[in-house]
Structure 1
Amino acid sequence: METSARHLLKESRTHGDEQHPFGMYWLNYGPGEHVIDCHWHEEAEIFYCMQGETLFQVDTDYFLVRAGEAVFVDGGDIHAAHAHGRDGCSFFSLVFDTNLLASANYDAVQEKLVLPLVERRGTFPRHIAGREPYESQLLQHIAAMMESCRQQPEGFEGAVKGRLYLMLADLAASGKRSSRMDSSRSESSKIERLKAVIAYIQHNYERQLRLSELAALIPMSEGHFSRFFKSMTRQSPMDYINSYRIRQAAELLREQERKISDIAMEVGYDNISYFIRVFRKVMHCSPSDFRKRLPSHDQ
């Protein structure tokens, strides 16, 4: 199972497999470094902030997340993280399909705990800050799951699954479950429009994309679309496209035999000098320096 600091934005990827039904990731960002672009996936996700702080976005909600706090993202929710403060930040992320928790038979666990989570009528708070006793309990479970994933003793998958059940039980006992079944019609419309644009970008990033082409998807005028996109993602459309392309390039750079010029072309840049300039802006180093800094197991 992957435990690297990589976290692809193209979320058609599979998180885990049948034997390891969840994905686990350690994400590290330097001071002022761009954190996580707007994206979504069908699985639920738990972020645990280990160091620093960041401004987190889930759908249209924004909140500051500090070390020792966590974020819960329901499947299908758009989410992003934006740099905040002078220090870097690091996260542990657990991505899992809620079907992981399904009972073999329809029992009380399925009815009272799992189904409300799946249907979003009895789910976790988005920001778990530890201000109340039940939140502190949830954070203790998340920290224990992180440690199990780090050490990976025999049977650790059961420990992770068990902790998720305990989190659901503690949440239900607290009477503090959140319902996110009924978001406002206007908010839902905004989110679905943004999803359509992001999906289009992720499927067509390797070729030239015009602002008019993206605006027509919604549809909006180019000016209205630019304002809408930035209000939802805190990035201009072109900044988002460049960031997505560069992060795809960063993954390809791990293949040592690939030429940098070929990678630039593959992710949508026909000018190598411009590619290097954009790469440096996003990653704070040149493509060749990025490749040199890769851990030995990636080389």
Structure 2
Amino acid sequence: MQKRGDTMQIHPSSLNNINYVPYSFATDFPIYDLDGSPHSPPAKGNHMHYHNCLEIGFCYGGSGIFLVGNRILPFSKGDVSIIFNNQIHIANSNSFDMSYWRFVMIEPNALLSLFKNKPLEAFITGSSTLLDFPHILNSKNHSEICNLVKMIIDNLTKRNTNYKTSVIGLSLALISSLETLSLNFNRTNNLDNISEDYQQLIPALNFISSNLTSSITIGELSQKCSMSESSFRRYFKKVMGTSPMDFIYSSRIKIASQLLYNKTYSISQISLEVGYNSLSSFNRHFKKYTGTSPSNWKNRIS
């Protein structure tokens, strides 16, 4: 089944369970420096939301997850986030490793309108229909994009003379780089009814993202969505392309595989932190979803 949760195009009037957070931009500088300082996504209590613009972010430290549509994406220090306009998402820090981000909002259409030629218009209008775009980028695999994001934030922080001109130029270069990257991913027009289907799962997805490392039952999730357990299982599989527990277990293992890069934590500590009371269960699930054991994984990245 095609997973389509992060490809939907949505409208403020159609979604009641998701926060719409719009931003206004100056005509001559369509870039908004959110808070102007590092922001720490909470470990719990955050809510899925979407914007009317492109959101870029840089992680200064810590770790956690982004839930973008139907995908859990772990992040850690040095990563960059790319969230397109109208994409439903949520960020949560790991409770034992709070993260610190700097977020900047960009209105691409207004930015391009500053120039006579707008060669990237197709990217701007079609970006939210990209399938499987990575969203969380690291400098090893996407050095150009990560460097551009860091330079944009650095210019916004220092605010030297003519910094707006520099930020506009860098933002245009970023959009161009994202267009190049987007060519590796397919677009889809198969969006019929996805927003309505997905919206009914939002209470459960909000709960999962905020309690991913705690004990979660199907009964709790089905109650959040006012469904019977059997109906919830069928509905979740239909919309998300996987069962609720597989979604939870695979998401926990994604977080664990990221934490194994940090030599501070032992495998037993990580298993507890991502919600496993039994090391044997953690080892079994880790091998199921990655094809190898946690110790082999840790040795491989050493």
TM range (shorter): 0.5 to 0.7
Partner of 2:216: none
Alignment pair present for 1:139 and 2:146: yes
- 1:154: Cα distance to partner? 3.0
User: 1 or 2 for the larger relative contact order (CA 8 Å, sep ≥6)?
Assistant: 2
Structure 1, residues 132-164: CA drift from partner, whole Å, max 9, x if none? 2xx111000000001111112233222222112
- 1:182: Cα distance to partner? 4.1
Report the CA distance shift for 1:11/1:19 in structure 2 as closer, same or farther (over 3 A): farther
The letter of the residue matching 2:147 is Q
- DSSP 3-state at the match of 2:172: helix
Do the aligned residues in 1 keep the contact of 2:80 with 2:146 (CA within 8 Å)? Answer: yes
Deviation larger for 21-30 or 178-187: 178-187
- 1:194: Cα distance to partner? 5.7
Partner of 2:139: 130
d(CA) in 2 for partners of 1:106, 1:196: 44
d(CA) in 1 for partners of 2:186, 2:23: 27
The letter of the residue matching 1:145 is I
Partner of 2:59: 49
- Aligned pair partner of 1:190 in 189, 197, 200: 197
Do the aligned residues in 1 keep the contact of 2:148 with 2:174 (CA within 8 Å)? Answer: yes
Q: Could you list the runs of 5+ residues in structure 2 that have no partner in the other structure?
A: 1-17, 206-221, 237-243, 249-302
The letter of the residue matching 1:148 is N
- 1:173: Cα distance to partner? 5.2
Do the aligned residues in 2 keep the contact of 1:47 with 1:72 (CA within 8 Å)? Answer: yes
- DSSP 3-state at the match of 2:32: strand
Partner of 2:241: none
Structure 1, residues 248-287: CA drift from partner, whole Å, max 9, x if none? xxxxxxxxxxxxxxxxxxxxxxxxxxxxxxxxxxxxxxxx
- 1:106: Cα distance to partner? 6.7
Structure 1, residues 210-254: CA drift from partner, whole Å, max 9, x if none? xxxxx9xx9x647767997xx7xx9xxxxxxxxxxxxxxxxxxxx
- DSSP 3-state at the match of 2:39: strand
> RMSD value over aligned CA atoms?
4.0
d(CA) in 1 for partners of 2:87, 2:184: 17
- Aligned pair partner of 2:99 in 79, 89, 92: 89
* Aligned pairs, number: 199
The letter of the residue matching 1:156 is Y
d(CA) in 2 for partners of 1:174, 1:76: 19
- DSSP 3-state at the match of 1:28: coil
- DSSP 3-state at the match of 1:119: helix
Partner of 1:115: 122
Do the aligned residues in 2 keep the contact of 1:122 with 1:177 (CA within 8 Å)? Answer: no
- DSSP 3-state at the match of 1:37: coil
Do the aligned residues in 1 keep the contact of 2:43 with 2:95 (CA within 8 Å)? Answer: no
Do the aligned residues in 1 keep the contact of 2:123 with 2:179 (CA within 8 Å)? Answer: no
- 1:20: Cα distance to partner? 3.6
- Aligned pair partner of 2:33 in 13, 24, 28: 24
d(CA) in 2 for partners of 1:106, 1:191: 39
Structure 1, residues 42-91: CA drift from partner, whole Å, max 9, x if none? 21111211111111111111111111111111111111012225222110
Do the aligned residues in 2 keep the contact of 1:15 with 1:95 (CA within 8 Å)? Answer: no
d(CA) in 2 for partners of 1:136, 1:176: 17
Partner of 1:98: 108
Alignment pair present for 1:40 and 2:50: yes
Q: Could you list the runs of 5+ residues in structure 1 that have no partner in the other structure?
A: 1-8, 199-214, 235-299
- 1:178: Cα distance to partner? 3.3
- DSSP 3-state at the match of 2:165: helix
d(CA) in 2 for partners of 1:128, 1:115: 22
Provide the TM-score with structure 2 as the length reference.
Answer: 0.53
Do the aligned residues in 2 keep the contact of 1:28 with 1:91 (CA within 8 Å)? Answer: yes
Provide the TM-score with structure 1 as the length reference.
Answer: 0.53
- Aligned pair partner of 2:23 in 14, 37, 46: 14
d(CA) in 1 for partners of 2:52, 2:174: 20
Where do 1:164-203 residues align within 5 Å?
A: 164-172=171-179, 176-182=183-189, 188-193=195-200
- DSSP 3-state at the match of 1:86: coil
